[in-house]
Amino acid sequence: MNYQPILNTINDSNFYEKIVNFIESWYEIKIFNNEIIDFEKIYKSKLSENINKTLNLFLNLNNSLFIGNKKTYTVFEYIFKNQSFKIGFTEKYNFLFLLQEGEQDFYYGVRKSDLLEENPFVYRYYKDSKTGQLKKVKDNRLSTFLFLLICSRASKIKTREYILWLKNNDKSKEKIKKLSSVFEYKFEFGKKTIFEKENALACIQNYSSKDIIITVNKWNEKDKIFTKEIKEIFGENAWSSNNYRFKL
Task: Provide the pLDDT for residue 155.
Answer: 81
Measured distance CA(175)–CA(236) in Å, rounded: 14
Task: Provide the pLDDT for residue 159.
Answer: 80
- The answer to whether residues 16 and 53 touch, using CB atoms and an 8 Å cutoff, is yes
Measured distance CA(141)–CA(48) in Å, rounded: 14
Of 66, 63, 65, 52, the residue nearest 98 (C-alpha)? 52
Burial class of residue 142 (count of CB atoms within 10 Å of its CB; 0-12, 13-18, 19+): buried
Of 42, 20, 118, the residue nearest 87 (C-alpha)? 42
Give residue limits of the domains in the chain. Answer: 7-150, 155-245
Res. 248: pLDDT tops 80: no
Mean pLDDT of 76-97: 86
Per-residue confidence band for 239, with pLDDT thresholds at 50, 70 and 90:
low
Measured distance CA(212)–CA(124) in Å, rounded: 23
In DSSP notation, the chain reads --PPP-GGG--TTTHHHHHHHHHHHHTT-----PPPP-HHHHHTS---HHHHHHHHHHHHHHHSEEE-SS-EEEHHHHH-SSEEEEEEEETTTTEEEEEEETTTTEEEEEEGGGTT-SSPEEEEEEE-TTT--EEEEEEEEHHHHHHHHHHTT---TTSEEEEEEEESSHHHHHHHHHHHHH-SEEEEETTEEEEEETTEEEEEEE-SSSEEEEEEEES-TT-HHHHHHHHHHH-SS-EEE-GGGS--
pTM exceeds 0.85: yes
CA distances for 124 relative to 36, 114, 205, angstroms:
27, 14, 20
Per-residue confidence band for 116, with pLDDT thresholds at 50, 70 and 90:
very high
pLDDT of 176-208, one tens digit each?
999 999 999 999 998 899 999 999 999 999 877
Task: Provide the pLDDT for residue 247.
Answer: 46
Class of domain 155-245: alpha beta
